[in-house]
Chain A
Amino acid sequence: MSELWKYLLAFGVWPGLLCAAPLGWLELWFMRKLVARLQGRQGPPFFQPFFDFMKLLGKETVIPRGVGRGIFLALPIVSLAAVTAALAIVPMPGNPIPSLPGDVVLLLYLMEVPILCEVLAGYVSRSIYGQVAAMREALLSLAYNLPFLVAIIAMAQHVGSFQMQALQGAPFSVVHVVAGLTFLLALPARMKLNPFSIANAEHEIIADSHIEYSGPPLALFKLSHAIEVVLLTELFAVVFVPATPWPLVSAVLYLAVGIAVLGLVTLLATSTARLRLTQAFRFYWLWGGLASVATMAATLVW
């Protein structure tokens, strides 16, 4: 029973829903504010992502005609649940759940579920724009998953274990640097930020694959994206930043690294324009592939 409580605590409170949602809103606000400041604007107030979420909760849900009601409403819930469960696995300081053997695999699997949900949401919606967005999302995930997966798997190879805590506790080495850079290469596309904002191109295809969503399901998709941002930045911090023996220092360090990575990615997003799908694909298979090879070579050498 106590095991169950630990899992529920990790899923619901820390680092799960209750703490990750405000953190995600904070990070989203930070990104939007930074973009605005870089463009010479004032930017949104601090509570803006929270208000967006609350407003969407209070709106009506329109389900398009001919769309399966069950799957239409289930997709955002599955997406949110998967991304929260993935965050609960990450060994943040104070995370109550025990480390499982092979939880890296589980984490990587759970991180694919929100993308799958987005693709399905686009195809389910019966909107042509949504279907184009879903197609782009699906194809792009084939591209950026190469460096992303290799960065994590190389770390596991380097440590010799598929356990998150082993990855976290590994002594700092060259592999951390090379794999971290490979991870950063995949991060903008993973977050759907500007040079790779091909799936949510708001000028060509109006919105991303949740174009037909409105009200609470859209709010859950937005929340799921916010938590995904937290998950990606904190995953980078946990895996590639050397851990300290003091949990509080680690927590502050992870948060600082997360914000710094976010700032870096936002800077890139503000200063670039959108690529075409072919260009992004070529970029990830060429440079991402080369980075992946370098990362795997580094694990063999060091």
Chain B
Amino acid sequence: MSILSRVVAIARRKSPWICRLNAGSCNGCDIEITPLLSPRYDAEQLGIELHGTPKHADIVLISGTLTHRSRKAILDIYDQVPSPKAVVALGSCPASGNVFAGSPTVLNESLDTIVPVDVWVPGCPPRPQAILDGIARAAKLLEEGATRSQLARSLQGQQAQPQPQPAQPDLTQPELARCEQGRP
């Protein structure tokens, strides 16, 4: 690894810019983000800045129950974040739907089926320390190149290179296709 890419990697850990995305939350998780920026927790010590636009962000904090209406918005905003990027799921709702599970307007699946989640921060709502810890862990993953989008990208890069592979029987293809169909 050259020295420049090493410095860039360290800089990714030292300056994680975050962008909030409320996917139908009760506002409980969002209100716990505000103390992060206040004197008590002061996320700027870790270089964390809250940006309104996904174009400037490295880490997307997604909070709330996933609804049918917010699914496309999540995908849109995730796509707008320039890579390398990380996703932090805030609270119990993105994982399970929490108390809203089973409601007709709520998407009954975890956030992981929509975008690749790197860090789950449990709690209803999670404490600000836990959110800060989640962001710090996501920043560490960004430095190591170990967020799921980075890993997928490096995997794609490897596949793009012509590699001498032993001839595989094509039997796995229908199974793969079936797996893909399961994904949205």
Chain A residues near B (Cβ < 8 Å): 32, 36, 39-45, 47-48, 50-55, 57-62, 129, 202, 206-207, 211-215, 218
Which residues of B come within 8 Å of A, CB atoms?
Answer: 5, 7-12, 14-15, 38-39, 42, 44-45, 47, 51-53, 55-56, 58, 80, 82-84
Contact, CB under 8 Å: B82 / A55: no
For residue A57, which residue of chain B has the nearest CB? Answer: B8
Residues of the B chain whose Cβ atoms lie less than 8 Å from the Cβ of A54: 7-8, 10-11
11 contacts between A and B (CB under 8 A): A39-B39, A42-B44, A48-B15, A52-B11, A53-B11, A55-B8, A55-B15, A59-B58, A59-B83, A206-B52, A218-B55
Contact of A207 among B9, B15, B52, B84 (CB under 8 A): B52
Checking B5, B44, B47 against A51 with a beta-carbon cut-off of 8 angstroms, the contacting residue is B47
* B55 and A52 form a contact (CB under 8 A): no
Contact A41 B55 (CB under 8 A): no
Contact (Cβ within 8 A) B55 A36: no
Q: When chains A and B are docked, how far (Å) is the Cα of A39 from the Cα of B45?
A: 13
Nearest neighbor of A32 in chain B, beta-carbon distance: B44
Chain B, Cβ-Cβ closest to A52: B15
B82 pairs with A214, CB closer than 8 A: yes
A110→B56 CA distance, assembly (Å): 28
Contacts A58-B11, A62-B80 given; indicate if A207 touches B51 (C-beta within 8 A).
yes
- Chain A, residue nearest B43 (CB): A41
Cβ 8 A contact of A60, one of B44, B45, B52, B82: B82
Provide the bound-state CA to CA distance between A58 and B5, in Å. Answer: 8
- Is there contact, CB below 8 Å, between B39 and A40? yes
Q: Shortest 7 CB-CB distances between A and B: which pairs?
A: A58-B8, A206-B52, A54-B11, A55-B11, A60-B82, A51-B14, A40-B39
- A44's contact among B7, B44, B55, by CB below 8 Å, is which? B44
Contact B14 A47 (CB under 8 A): yes
Contact between A218 and B44 (Cβ–Cβ < 8 Å)?
Answer: no
Q: Report A-chain residues with C-beta under 8 Å of the C-beta of B84.
A: 58-60
Contact between B15 and A41, CB atoms less than 8 A apart: no
Bound Cα distance from A32 to B15, whole angstroms: 14
A44 touches B45 (CB 8 A): yes
Chain B residues within 8 Å of A36, by CB = 42, 44
Closest chain-A Cβ to B18's Cβ sits at a distance in Å of: 13
Q: Within the assembled complex, what's the spacing in Å between the Cα atoms of A48 and B84? A: 19
| Nearest A residue to B55, CB-CB | A214
Nearest CB in chain A: distance from B69 CB, A: 21
Q: Is the CB of B39 within 8 A of A44?
A: no
> Which one of A45, A212, A213 lies within 8 Å of B47 (CB-CB)?
A45
Report the Cα distance A41→B7, complex, angstroms: 27
Chain B: minimal CB distance from A139 (Å): 22
CB of B82 within 8 A of CB of A61, answer yes
Q: Which residue of A lies closest to B80 (CB)?
A: A62
Residues of B with C-beta under 8 A to A59: 58, 82-84
A42 touches B45 (CB 8 A): yes
Nearest Cβ distance between residue B22 and chain A, in whole angstroms? 15
Do residues A41 and B80 form an inter-chain contact, with CB atoms below 8 A? no
Q: Which residues of A have CB within 8 Å of B53?
A: 129, 206-207, 211-212
On whether the beta carbons of A62 and B82 are closer than 8 Å, the reply is yes
What is the minimal beta-carbon distance from B43 to any residue of chain A, in angstroms? 9
A36 CA to B42 CA, complexed, in Å: 9
How many angstroms from the CA of A36 to the CA of B15 in the assembled complex?
A: 16
- Of the residues A42, A50, A57, A62, contact of B55 by C-beta under 8 Å: A62
Say whether A207 contacts B47, CB under 8 Å.
Answer: no
A202, B52: Cβ atoms under 8 Å?
Answer: yes
Residues of B within 8 A of A57 (CB): 8
Cβ B12 vs Cβ A55 within 8 A: yes
**How far, in angstroms, from A51 to B42 measured CA to CA in the complex?**
18
- A55 with B39: in contact, given A62-B80, A207-B52, A212-B55 (CB under 8 Å)? no
How far apart are the CA atoms of A271 and B182 in the complex, in Å? 55
Tell which of B11, B45, B52, B56 touches A218, judged by Cβ atoms closer than 8 Å.
B56
Known: A207-B52, A212-B55. A44 touches B47 (CB 8 A): yes
Q: A55-B14, A129-B53 are in contact. List 13 more A-B contacts (CB 8 A).
A: A42-B42, A44-B45, A47-B14, A48-B15, A50-B11, A51-B11, A58-B84, A59-B82, A62-B80, A206-B53, A207-B52, A211-B55, A215-B82
Does B45 lie within 8 Å of A45, measured CB to CB? yes
User: In the assembly, what is the distance between CA of A88 and CA of B75, in Å?
Assistant: 46
- The residues of B that contact A42 with a CB separation of less than 8 Å are 42, 44-45
